Chains A and B, each alone.
Chain A
Amino acid sequence: MPAPATTAPAAAPGLPELATVPWRRRASAGALHGIGRLWTAWTVALTVPFAAVAAFLIYLEPLTAPVAAASIAHAWIIPELYAFRGANVARPKGARHPRSEPVALGLLGDLLAHRERDLQGATGLALERGRLGAWLVGEGGAVLLAPGGRRVHCFCVTATDSELPPSDRIAHLLLALRADEEGFATVANHAFSGAPWRLRRRLGREVRPALDAARAAAREVPEGRA
């Protein structure tokens, strides 16, 4: 692990990539909290009408049960599709590059502490603690567990070089996140927000320990911080 460097004269504040999204307001804990509430309201608005229609149909005429079942299916499928989109950010992306990946993995390992290195090796996701919560950084996105661990935000974001081996793609995102956490959340596209259990169901079994570890780390961050 490199020692802290004397970089002040050459250091530049913020992510340079912010210049590519000048129309976006800089992300913050408060803004993410608001986005989370909007996602919840949107999910309720999509689910409740379908469930209400199903109940009303059964009340009117039990023979409409097949139609009511279709309505219930809509109420279930739509939130599931959103959660599936969220889980996509944690999935491996692109070519595996078997020749260059060991080299990239060595560099990524140097950037991570011992426990995080083991977790990344087992799940493919790098755990990073930040002011906004606990992050899981993957090849094509990042998952943020908000302080308290009761809400998850999924971000779709990637390095712009498609020829990079998988671990280099993670290292790119990890370095950007460490340099400017709020800037990272601003540049990334918000793909999903909701309860962690909704995401967990859609993740592969081998990835779930990473979500559990991030949730535990997020619980150590007091809610309302940042």
Chain B
Amino acid sequence: MARLIRMDSTGHSTLAEWTVEDEVAFQRAAEAFRTETGAGYIGMVDEGPGRATHVRELPREADLVLMRRPIAGG
């Protein structure tokens, strides 16, 4: 079961779950993804130490997609 997670003030919130075969669940997750990016969140797929990818659409095959806030120089 793949998950769409938003890092927020609660630690993290699970926004959606889907499987590759479940088109309805995936579309629901994709809509949640678009809502979050519209609110300023950035989609990331972590691929282990040293590798992560910024995604603009929800990747169907990913196991875990994380939504994060932008970073800025302090």
Contact surface of A with B, Cβ cutoff 8 Å: 1-7, 9-17, 20-21, 89, 97, 100-107, 111-113, 116, 128-130, 140-141, 155-161, 163-165, 167-168, 171-173, 175-176, 178-180, 184, 187-189
Determine which of B5, B10, B61, B72 lies in contact with A6 in the assembled complex, contact meaning CB atoms within 8 Å.
Answer: B61
B49 and A129: CB pair below 8 A? yes
B44 and A175: CB pair below 8 A? yes
A7 and B11: CB pair below 8 A? no
Q: Complex: how many Å from CA A21 to CA B48?
A: 28
Given contacts A97-B9, A179-B54, A189-B74, 14 further A-B contacts (CB under 8 A): A2-B63, A2-B64, A4-B47, A14-B54, A15-B54, A89-B74, A100-B11, A107-B12, A112-B49, A140-B74, A156-B74, A157-B71, A159-B71, A178-B47
Chain A at the B interface: SS class: mixed
A160 and B70: CB pair below 8 A? yes
A165 and B11: CB pair below 8 A? yes
Nearest first, the 10 closest Cβ-Cβ pairs linking A and B are A103-B11, A178-B52, A189-B73, A10-B57, A5-B62, A156-B74, A6-B61, A163-B9, A104-B11, A100-B11
Q: Complex: how many Å from CA A82 to CA B62?
A: 43
**Nearest Cβ in chain B — how far from A70, in angstroms?**
33
With a CB–CB cut-off of 8 A, which chain A residues contact B50? 128-130, 178
With a CB–CB cut-off of 8 A, which chain B residues contact A6? 59, 61-62
A175 and B46: CB pair below 8 A? yes
Given contacts A5-B63, A16-B42, contact A157 B58 (CB under 8 A): no
Shortest Cβ distance from B11 into A: residue: A103
Shortest Cβ distance from B41 into A: residue: A161
Q: Complex: how many Å from CA A164 to CA B69?
A: 10
Shortest Cβ distance from A116 into B: residue: B49
Given contacts A102-B11, A107-B11, A156-B73, contact A12 B55 (CB under 8 A): yes
Q: Is B8 an interface residue (CB 8 A)?
A: yes
B62 and A187: CB pair below 8 A? no
**Nearest Cβ in chain B — how far from A21, in angstroms?**
7
Q: Complex: how many Å from CA A116 to CA B48?
A: 12
**Nearest Cβ in chain A — how far from B15, in angstroms?**
14
Q: Complex: how many Å from CA A173 to CA B51?
A: 13
B70 and A100: CB pair below 8 A? no
Given contacts A2-B63, A5-B45, A6-B59, contact A180 B54 (CB under 8 A): yes
Q: B8-41 interface mask toward A, CB cutoff 8 Å, 1 = contact, 0 = none? A: 1111100000000000000000000000000000
A103 and B52: CB pair below 8 A? no
A172 and B74: CB pair below 8 A? no
